[in-house]
Amino acid sequence: MDIREIARRAKVSTATVSRTINRVPTVDPLLAKRVWRVVNELGYYPNRQARALVSGRSRIFGLIVSEITNPFFPEIVQSFEDLAVQHNYELLLTSTVHDPKRMEMSVRRMIERRVDGVAILTFGMEDSLIGDLRFRKVPLVFVDVGPRMPGVSNIRVQYQEGIREAVQHLAALRHTRIAFVSGPLALRSAVARKAAFEQSMQEIGLKVARELIIEGDHTMKGGMRALLELLSVRERPTAVLCSNDMTAIGVMREAFDYGIRVPEDLSLVGFDDIRMAQFMIPPLTTVQMSQTELANLAFQALLNHVESDSLSLKHKEYILHTTLVVRKSTAIAASSSAEEKAAKARRLVSRTA
Amino acid sequence: MDIREIARRAKVSTATVSRTINRVPTVDPLLAKRVWRVVNELGYYPNRQARALVSGRSRIFGLIVSEITNPFFPEIVQSFEDLAVQHNYELLLTSTVHDPKRMEMSVRRMIERRVDGVAILTFGMEDSLIGDLRFRKVPLVFVDVGPRMPGVSNIRVQYQEGIREAVQHLAALRHTRIAFVSGPLALRSAVARKAAFEQSMQEIGLKVARELIIEGDHTMKGGMRALLELLSVRERPTAVLCSNDMTAIGVMREAFDYGIRVPEDLSLVGFDDIRMAQFMIPPLTTVQMSQTELANLAFQALLNHVESDSLSLKHKEYILHTTLVVRKSTAIAASSSAEEKAAKARRLVSRTA
DNA sequence: CTGTTAGCGCATTCAC
DNA sequence: GTGAATGCGCTAACAG
């Protein structure tokens, strides 16, 4: 069943069927009705591949993520899908699983399917691959790491905003020894978060002790290791800010195993606000980097490139704000009360022994 | 840049280029080399839409889920993607977000893109939609709810296996008052789990008190509500088995708020083994329904339909086993020791007051 | 073994 | 306002 079948049955030409389906206004209402009747009766669905072939637009947007199972991404994928449906697009989802080969294949697959644009949420991509895509004039949008070139947009995350809030929140709770567990410092976004922390501390005149800055790896295990390191420090921190939520969850788990209570003995702040953060016990205070908003910006960026031919060349920057979400993993510093401090010391000694 | 361009530059016909690229063995190695050289030099990627159009096979498998953000799905999507890459397929991911309209659109999108098969992981689908798909001879695979008809396969989950293990595990830990928090009983899979629980209890001669069976809704909130109900019962349960992990997480959270310790005061078992289960404090003992395995079966089912034309008509059933994964949320029943029981009673009274 | 040719299903000229 | 004809990029007959 194809467009010709419809044309025959409606006693019009295929051109008229095509026009009707595409809602070209110049078609006679009478004929249109006849066409629609047949279309609905037969349950005719136009072939997208054929349309794409002739129109040169596939109405597919690619989305490259590092791992779908990374809790940061499901919300983004869902939002992206919602937008795709709304705008009559399809989503081509691809994951690199941290494998350069897979990244290359992702790009190849995008090109073979002739996507109309690609959102790259994998915090970095080889120049040659960007070149492959741009050579074919595929609009691109990155987060943070987008090169300044025509046809590619960039979403700039305001790490400083939320992290400053977090630091000041902790300071207001009378924490002064605040530790920071970073992400892998090969990641630009991790470096940015760490820098934001250091600046935020400096802004309010707090020292950041070197031994309180630990390099993690954005995993739960990394968070667990980090807390262990922090426990071996002479004067322990009373609060820990983490470069992402999974790290904070790791810290929380290890704290539990050592009988350190969150937030009574240790205040904890994450980053990202993945959904799981709400499910933790206690619910995690964290800096929110809205995944919905991120997806929105990315989709709009691609759409802008596609829809407007004239502007499509301009590099554009979008801003993604971050903000602190206070839940239950932060409290007044234990050390502010001598009694509590003593109690805590006793507990820690007995447990870590 | 298209196949003709390559043909011209390699001084062969387009047919030869096509054959070379598709690795038809009868092509002269010399010519093939010439073609490959040009292909690589120009970075030529064949147009999949065109291929699909002429071959009648899109090399796309559809995957319909209820919500991508449901923690049960990301692992499945990832595995499905991995398999797709391996077999040179693409994944068309679609979510219904519990909206019949969206479900309808999903089906429509699948058909318009001419997918070669669809895996439906949304626990139910209208007959008319199944009809739409089958009318176009699209192979289908369902979980549990697949109709017995040619061209559609079904993955049958062995709920009983894992749930029996869970119940016997709890019994071995000397629990006798075991509660069950079900899912929404409109869901076939939820009903199956509940039935499996009841049978497993009966098998070992344990009574299942009516007031210890609570209908939940497979969400954290549902789990929280369920525990509340269970706390109001005359003789409280010492263990709770939940129809899914999110429910168990809700129970765990509410227990925490009431000062009920897991597993010392209350043993807790989930179902599904979503990744988050490992991240809980304490890590959740749960019945594993391997998401990787599920994805594998689904993909293979579709592949079987597509690859073999003769067998493609036969309805096939696949089995997905379940098994208990013991972690830290279960322990010997507190009530087995009079002393502990008294202690627990005191705590509960003071907290719930 | 290779090249020529005819569609795949559709949108879009261009005459009418 | 409508229809006949052309071609999007590719594969599959067929003839050579």
Per-residue pLDDT, A309? 67
Instruction: Report the C-alpha gap between B85 and A104 in whole angstroms.
Output: 12
Same domain flag for A40 and A89: no
Asked if the model's pLDDT at residue B341 lies above 70, the reply is no
Q: Which single residue is written with the structure tokens 């590099």?
A: A315
Asked if the model's pLDDT at residue B98 lies above 80, the reply is yes
Buried b (16+ CB within 10 A) or exposed e, B290-307: bbebbbbbbbbbbbbbbe
Instruction: Report the C-alpha gap between A170 and A164 in whole angstroms.
Output: 10
Total domain count, chain B: 3
Q: Which of A200, A201, A240, A211 is nearest to A223 (CA)?
A: A240
Asked if residue A329 lies in contact with residue A168, where contact means CB atoms within 8 angstroms, the answer is no
Same domain flag for B87 and B171: no
Whether A247 and chain B come into contact, CB under 8 Å, resolves to no
Nearest to A47 among B91, B114, B132 (CB): B114
Check whether residue A59 has its CB closer than 7 Å to nucleic acid strand C.
no
Tell me the CA–C1' distance in angstroms for A282 and C16: 76
Asked if the model's pLDDT at residue A78 lies above 70, the reply is yes
Q: Provide the mean pLDDT of chain A.
A: 93
Same domain flag for A215 and A264: yes
Asked if the model's pLDDT at residue B266 lies above 70, the reply is yes
Task: Give the rounded distance of the alpha carbon of B96 from its chain centre.
Answer: 15
Interface contact flag, A249 B67, Cβ < 8 Å: no
Q: Report residue A122 as tokens.
A: 């994998």
Per-residue pLDDT, A123? 77
Q: Provide the mean pLDDT of chain B.
A: 93
Q: What is the pTM assigned to this prediction?
A: 0.93
Dump pLDDT digits (tens) for A53-70: 999 999 999 999 999 999
**CA atoms within a 13 Å half-sphere pointing along the CA-CB vector of B271:** 33
Check whether residue B12 has its CB closer than 7 Å to nucleic acid strand C.
yes
Per-residue pLDDT, A313? 76
Nearest to A113 among B81, B90, B97 (CB): B90
Chain B residue with Cα closest to A262? B281
Per-residue pLDDT, B24? 93
Q: What percent of chain B has pLDDT over 70?
A: 93
Same domain flag for A30 and A173: no
Asked if the model's pLDDT at residue B11 lies above 70, the reply is yes
Per-residue pLDDT, B336? 46
Whether residue B345 is contained in a domain is answered as no
| Nucleotides of strand C lying closer than 7 angstroms to a protein CB | 1-5, 7-13
Asked if the model's pLDDT at residue B222 lies above 80, the reply is yes
Q: What is the CATH number of the domain that holds B15?
A: 1.10.260.40
Q: How buried is residue A229: exposed, middle or buried, by Cβ count under 10 Å (0-12/13-18/19+)?
A: middle
Tell me the CA–C1' distance in angstroms for B59 and D12: 18
Dump pLDDT digits (tens) for B249-263: 999 999 999 999 999
Least confident interval from A86-90, A205-209, B82-86, B313-317: B313-317
Mean pLDDT of A169-188: 96
Evaluated on CA atoms A81, A84, A89, A91, the torsion sign reads negative
Interface contact flag, A113 B48, Cβ < 8 Å: yes
Whether residue B353 is contained in a domain is answered as no
Q: Report residue A75 as tokens.
A: 């919300």
Whether residue B349 is contained in a domain is answered as no
Same domain flag for B108 and B241: no
Asked if residue B275 lies in contact with residue B317, where contact means CB atoms within 8 angstroms, the answer is no
Asked if the model's pLDDT at residue A239 lies above 50, the reply is yes
Per-residue pLDDT, A336? 46
Asked if the model's pLDDT at residue B339 lies above 80, the reply is no
Whether residue B350 is contained in a domain is answered as no
Whether residue A76 is contained in a domain is answered as yes
**Which residues of chain B does A280 touch, with a Cβ-Cβ cutoff of 8 Å?**
281
Per-residue pLDDT, A350? 58
**CA atoms within a 13 Å half-sphere pointing along the CA-CB vector of B82:** 18
Asked if the model's pLDDT at residue A35 lies above 50, the reply is yes
User: What is the extent of the structural domain holding B147?
Assistant: 58-156+291-319
Q: Report residue A212 as tokens.
A: 């309180």
Q: Are strands B239-242 and B267-272 parallel, antiparallel or unpaired?
A: parallel
Same domain flag for B68 and B138: yes
Three-state SS letters, B172-219: HCCCCCEEEEECCCCCHHHHHHHHHHHHHHHHCCCCCCHHHEEECCCC
Same domain flag for B330 and B202: yes
Per-residue pLDDT, A341? 54
Q: How many CB atoms lie within 10 A of CB A196?
A: 25
Instruction: Report the C-alpha gap between B84 and B117 in whole angstroms.
Output: 12
User: How does residue B345 score in pLDDT terms, banded at 50, 70 and 90?
Assistant: low
Whether residue B149 is contained in a domain is answered as yes
Instruction: Report the C-alpha gap between A268 and A285 in whole angstroms.
Output: 7
Whether residue B343 is contained in a domain is answered as no
Chain B residue with Cα closest to A65? B78
User: Among residues 282-301 of chain A, which lie with CB inside 8 Å of chain B?
Assistant: 282
Same domain flag for A42 and A76: no
SS3 A87: coil
Q: Which single residue is written with the structure tokens 């820690």?
A: A348
Per-residue pLDDT, B27? 92
Same domain flag for B260 and B118: no
Asked if the model's pLDDT at residue A317 lies above 90, the reply is yes
Dump pLDDT digits (tens) for B174-188: 999 999 999 999 999
Question: Looking at CA atoms only, how far is residue B199 from chain A in angstroms?
Answer: 32
Whether residue A346 is contained in a domain is answered as no
Interface contact flag, B53 A47, Cβ < 8 Å: yes
Same domain flag for B183 and B249: yes
Q: What is the CATH number of the domain that holds B146?
A: 3.40.50.2300
Provide the strand spans (E) within chain A. 60-65, 90-95, 117-121, 140-143, 152-157, 178-182, 213-215, 239-242, 267-272, 285-288, 317-320, 323-325
Same domain flag for A334 and A197: yes
Radius of gyration of chain A (CA): 26
Asked if the model's pLDDT at residue B353 lies above 50, the reply is no
Same domain flag for A71 and A142: yes
Q: Are strands A178-182 and A239-242 parallel, antiparallel or unpaired?
A: parallel
